[in-house]
Structure formats: structure tokens, C-alpha cells
Structure 1
């Protein structure tokens, strides 16, 4: 199986080697003049809570803006939705924007979440002889292609002096990867919360390493460039509301977990542990964050995970005037 990930402008290659075609995306109606279409993942707890409480809708109604929510299974698919004009705004990790920009997606970084390195990790079987990252050489490692853990795994291997071509990547979405891990079909699994925390609590799993000291694990709010250019007032309200929701989570972890449990389909204790791995603090994108993204872009280009070099600064909205 080729390890080269070459996305195109029409589709990203995601999942177990399957192509994500435009026909696989949901069918979307054309937006109204003042409609905000938000893409979210079930694991994006702040947005999930915001959606359930309808507080954003209440804030935007006086501006004549309606809100439409669309769920995506992971960041790469969400960015494809943004690329084809299906959504205006979304929340993803640090690797998907790099891959999307290389594929020509017309988006801008809107805000970021401060580093959350404990929220992703590499799991191995409890009785496996794998004790260090260097021991991953030659092993089968499951990961979601093009997601945050793709970058985390690359950086972890680099730190251990192991080449990316010295492992056997197995590209699987979280549910399939967990099944493969449980039946022993893979040696290790790179995954993020809340799936990470759920798997850690299983008797057959052991955390080999999280991202601490390896990568920042930033999360980003992204906007379609045309929408950001013309709807700065709407985006200001959105970022303000997610910031308030993040502050509420930091003060009410148990309550937040209880509300998320029936939505995310996990035990509230698992969700709470995962929530505590995130900071839920959002800031404007700055030069240091863009430099961190550039490092990902340069590495991915060298490994041919993306087909061309990019400049992350190009995905920033330049103020008028």
C-alpha cells in the first residue's frame, strides 16, 4: 500500500484507503444571505454544547442571521465540506488545515485553542514488548489519515529517530481502528480524546506516549475566506460565544460531561477525563502559531503527505485598507 497522501481539489483520501468523493458529502441547499453554516465533529465538545443550548442562535437572531449545523466524522471531511462550499465555519485540529491548504481550499484561520498535548496519544497492547517510541519501528500503527494524529505520529517517530517509512501505517477511522486494536490486528493506535480516554480504560490497552514534548496539538476555528471577508460581525459573535462556553466547561466539567454523554455515546466519566485534557481557551491566531503550522506543512511536503509546499501565512485574512 502506498504511504503517499496526495489530496486533490475535489477530494481528500481518507479512511481505510477510500477516496472521499464529492458524492459522499451531504446535499446542501444554497445558503441565505445571512446564514451561518457550521461544520462540527461529535468530539468537538464546545461546539456540541453550543449547538444543544442554542445560545448562538439567540445572539445572532437580532442580526438577522440563522445558523445551520452539519456534523462530519473527522477534520479532513469537514475541511472538504468547507472546500466545496458546503459550510462557512468549522473546528479542526492542526494537520487538516495544512492538507486542505495544499489542496487549494479557500479558508482562513479565525482563532485557535491553546495547546492540548495530553488530548492525543499512542496506545499499545498492555502486554506488548513495545516500551519506547523507538520500538514502533516495523510495527503496524492505526491512525485516521490526514488528522491530527497523523502529524503527531510523524513527529513522535522523528523524535525517536524512526523514519516514517520504517513503520506500517494502517489508515482507519476511530471505530474501525478500535476494533482492529481489540482483535490484535495492529500493534499500536494513534488517537485523540474522547476516544483516547475511552480506550485507555480498557484492560488490554496501555498508553505509550501522549503528545507532551512532541507536538503542540493546537485546535483551530476556520472560516471560508469569502464568508470571513464579508461577515466579520458574525464571526466575532461566534468566537465570543465559544469562548463563553469554554469558560463554562472549565468551571463545570462534570455537568458538561453529563450533557455530552448521550450525544457522544460515551460514559460521562470518560468524557470528563477527556474534557480535562483540553484548555477550552481560544485566542486570535498569531505568528508563533502560524510558524508551528508551517513546520507541519514543511514536514508533510518533505514526506510527500501533501503534494506541494505551502505558506501558512497565506491562510490569514488581510484587513481591508
Structure 2
């Protein structure tokens, strides 16, 4: 497990009275690339926390899941598909909150000289994807869209860093990443999107806040998690309304050029979701889809994968945000 961005030893103890710090519960949080945490920090939602928050940030969702499963984290932010796999494997975690990325911010990239001008051109090509993740799901959906079978291509299972290198240096003809890898690859490496190769119509774009059952059984941690979910929803609304300021903060936090973080924010269009039972069918659809292709070895019923009891205040923020845009 190798965090790409590690806020080493970051321990936030922001109580107005430092003498209370010893009594405050600590939440151990894992994030992917740090964008959620950056929005929390930039928006001021980390001010005056009634608990301590310790963060580790990772390359992708899978290592967040590994850390949750191992008991190294209390809460993790990750995509829906990494969650699906650890839930299917019996990991002691539940989804407790949700947000959505623009599905087209998950997309298939190629090099201009790779000869891929349509989805049909993928036949016979090697394609890099992250096994069991957004890229894997996307390519299977795109192959269906093009009337192709998985056997018509060769899938190379690579992490995002290796997938980018494989496309750049010609080891594969296409790669299925998400933001900020899309912005980085297109701006720095000169790659392009495959026409009709975005996730709209294939992906939900959902991501989840996950919590270990141990944390959910602790009254103080439950209260802290509910508070964190509310602050995250507020932070995501703030980030969407202040894209230039957020892009600057995000670039500094992750050591990325602001041109890339601006593109990432505009493409991903992240928004908090009302976290209720209406989300269950989307995850069930993904489980059934992956089982049909043998990616998930068994059928999975996801109806017990959620704990909706902590999201009431965060849901109010999501509803207000949706109303502002109606």
C-alpha cells in the first residue's frame, strides 16, 4: 500500500480549548488523491472540529479499501466499485454518504497515432484498466456499446500510474482513467479521448464515504462521522461555487499545475447526493454487471451495504444545492 500523497502525521486538533484534546475522539480518514480533504480545508469546514481527524491519501480506491479492511482507517472516501468488491468479500464496512462525479470524467484515452478513431477500432487492441475498478467497468460497457466482446481486445490490468506510462510509451493503445489522470494525461502527454468513450450511459459516477462497523458501533465516532459527512457536503458545494480558488488550493495540496486542477474540477463537476435507498439499485446494477462478466465470482445482494442513519444533515445540504440549480 503506497500512498501517492501522504499528509504525514497530519493530526487536526482544532478545538477552541486545547485542554479538551485528550478527551476528543480521533477519526482516521483515507482519501483518494486528497480532493475531498482539500475542499474541506479550503472551505473552512475543518475549523473548530469537535474531534481529531487524521488523514492518509492514496492513489486510488483499492488501497483505501485495503486499509479499511485491515482496521487502519475508520472512514474512507472511494468510488462505488472498489467498495463493491470489498463488500462482496465480507469486509466490515458500510456506505454512510455519497456524492457524484460527472460520468464522462471517467473516459477512454488513446494516442493520436494509435489508430483508434471510434469504439469499433478497439478490436484487436491492448487496453489498460484498473482491475475491478472504474476503468474495468467502463471498458466492458464501451465494448457492449460498440457490439464487441471482451475477447475482441486484450485487457492489461495496471494501476493508474502504470496505465498512463503504458499508453504514453505505446505498450497499450488505450487506457481508461478518471480525473485527475485524464487532465494530466491529455495536457502533459498529448493523449486524446476516444470518441463516444466517456462514462455517460455506462457509469453512475457515484462515490461513497465508507465506515468500519467498529466505528459505527462507537457512539462518539458515529457522531463524528455524521458531522464529517455534513461538513463534506458543505465543502463540495463551496468548491463548486469557487472553482478558481479551489483549483489553486488543490494544486498546492497535490503539487499539481493549476491548469490541471482547473480542468479536473470542471470535468468532474462533483456534487453531494441525497444518501437514501434510491442509491441501492445503482450499486446492484454494477454488481450484476460485473458478475455477468465474471469479474465478481458470485452474485451479490447489496441491500445491506448501506447505513442511512448518519446522513440526515448532509442530505439537507444536498437537497438545498440541487434546489439552487433547479
TM-score by length of 1: 0.82
Evaluate the alpha carbon distance shift between residue 163 and residue 285 of structure 1 in structure 2; reply closer, same or farther with a 3 A threshold. farther
Structure-2 residue corresponding to 1:217: 205
* Higher alpha-carbon deviation: 231-240 or 291-300: 231-240
- Residue 9 of structure 1 corresponds to none
Aligned counterparts of 2:32 and 2:114: Cα–Cα separation in 1: 32
Contact 1:243 1:280 in 2 (8 A): no
Question: Of 271, 278, 287, which residue of structure 2 is paired with 1:288?
Answer: 278
2:263 matches 1:303: no
Q: How far has the Cα of 1:40 moved from its partner?
A: 0.9
2:216 to 201, 223, 228: 228
TM norm structure 2: 0.81
How far residue 284 of structure 1 moved from its aligned partner, in angstroms, is 3.7
Tell me if the contact between 1:82 and 1:224 (Cα under 8 Å) persists in the aligned partners: yes
* Superposition deviation, residue 221 in structure 1: 1.2
- Indicate the SS of the match to 1:233: helix
Would you say 1:194 and 2:185 are equivalent positions? no
From 34, 53, 56, give the equivalent of 1:70. 56
Q: 2:269 and 2:110 mapped to 1: Cα distance?
A: 26
State the distance in 1 between where 2:216 and 2:138 align: 29
Give yes or no for the alignment of 1:254 onto 2:244: yes
Quote how far apart the aligned CAs of 1:56 are: 2.9
1:98, 1:293 within 8 Å by CA — same for their partners in 2?
yes
Shift of 1:274: 0.8
Gaps of 5+ in 1: 1-19, 22-27
What is the rounded CA distance, in whole Å, between the counterparts of 1:77 and 1:96 in structure 2? 9
- Quote the offset at 1:51 in angstroms: 5.0
Q: Is 2:74 aligned against 1:93?
A: no
Cα deviation, 1:171-191, whole Å, max 9, x if unaligned, reads 222222222111111100100
Q: Determine which of 15, 36, 49 is the counterpart of 2:27.
A: 36
**SS, match of residue 226 in structure 2:** helix
Q: Residues 65-87 of structure 1: CA distance to partner in whole angstroms, max 9, x if unpaired?
A: 22111222210110111111111
User: What's the C-alpha RMSD, in Å, of the aligned pairs?
Assistant: 2.4
Contact preservation (8 Å) 1:138, 1:168: yes
Distance 1:144 1:195 in 2: 13
Q: Per the alignment, in what secondary structure is the counterpart of residue 128 of structure 1? A: coil
Count of residue pairs the alignment pairs up: 287
Q: 1:169 aligns with which of 148, 151, 155?
A: 155
Could you tell me which runs of 5 or more consecutive residues in structure 2 were left unpaired when the two chains were aligned: 3-8, 10-22, 311-326
How far 1:303 sits from its partner (Å)? 2.1
Q: Deviations over 1:7-59 (max 9, x none)?
A: xxxxxxxxxxxxx79xxxxxx9xxx98221100121x4122342577743622
Measured after TM superposition, the shift of residue 100 of structure 1 is 0.9
2:96–2:308 CA contact under 8 A, matched in 1: no
Please point out which of 281, 304, 313 is paired with 1:314: 304
235-244 or 142-151, larger mean C-alpha shift: 142-151
